[in-house]
Amino acid sequence: HMHDLLRSDSIEARAHLADEFISLLKAKKHYDQIRYLNTTGMEVVRVNYNSGAPYAVPQEELQNKGRRYYFTDTFNLKRHQVFVSPMDLNVENGKIETPLKPMLRFGTPVYDPSGRKKGVVIINYYADTIRHNIKQFLANPDSAPMLLNARGYWLLAPDSRDEWGFMYKNKRRFDHRYPEIWEKIVQQKTGQVSTSDGLFTFIT
C-alpha cells in the first residue's frame, strides 16, 4: 500500500494506507499515531488511536511537521535506518496536549521503487507504558523510582510537578537539586550514593 501511494498519490492509495495503519493500531494498542509525511514534513496519511477506536484524520486537519525535530532527524537518515526520539510530551498545533501524553517516536525514511526518498513514516509510542512498568517493577514503600533524561530533567518523579521541566521551560531538574549525585551518575553506568537525603541507586 505504501508503494502504491508513492507511485501515484491518489485518494484511493491514501485510503488503503490509512486502513493498513488502522489495523496496526488495533493490533498493537501502544501506538498513539502512525503517519506518513512527505518531503516537506506535511502529513499525507495520519491515523490516531483515539482510545481504541482508530480513525484516519481528514485531509483538511492534517498538519505540517517540517520544523519538528523528529521529522528532520528522520528525513536525514539513510535507507533502513531508524530514528528513536527522546521521551517528551505530545504537542498538537503548537501546544502541549492535555491530558499529558508522554511519547517516544520511531521513524524511518521511505523510498519509491526507483530509489527516490519520498518522505518518512513516524510512529508515536505511548511512553507512559514504560513509566508505568518502572513504577510497578520498583514499587516499594521505602523507595521512590525516578526516570531522568540525559540533561537531568525528570521524566518520572516522586512529585509529578517536577516532571517534564524541559517542556515547560522551568528549572526543575535532578542535577540542580542533587548536583553531587548527578556528577556520579554521569561518570558511571551504575552505582549507589549515600547522602543525607537517602540512598540513591542508579543505572543508565
pLDDT tens string 24-64: 999 988 999 999 999 999 999 999 999 999 999 999 999 99
pLDDT at residue 76 in the model: 97
Cβ count within 10 A of residue 56: 17
pLDDT tens sequence across 149-195: 999 999 999 999 999 999 999 999 999 999 999 999 999 999 999 99
Q: Is the pLDDT of residue 92 over 90?
A: no
Rg (CA), the chain: 20
Q: Give the angle subtended at the CA of 123 by the CAs of 120 and 128, to the nearest 5°.
A: 150
| 80 φ/ψ sector (left φ>0, alpha ψ -120 to 50, else beta) | left
Q: How far apart are CA 36 and CA 18, in angstroms?
A: 9
CA nearest neighbour of 17 among 40, 44, 38: 44
Enter the pTM of the model. Answer: 0.84
pLDDT at residue 140 in the model: 86
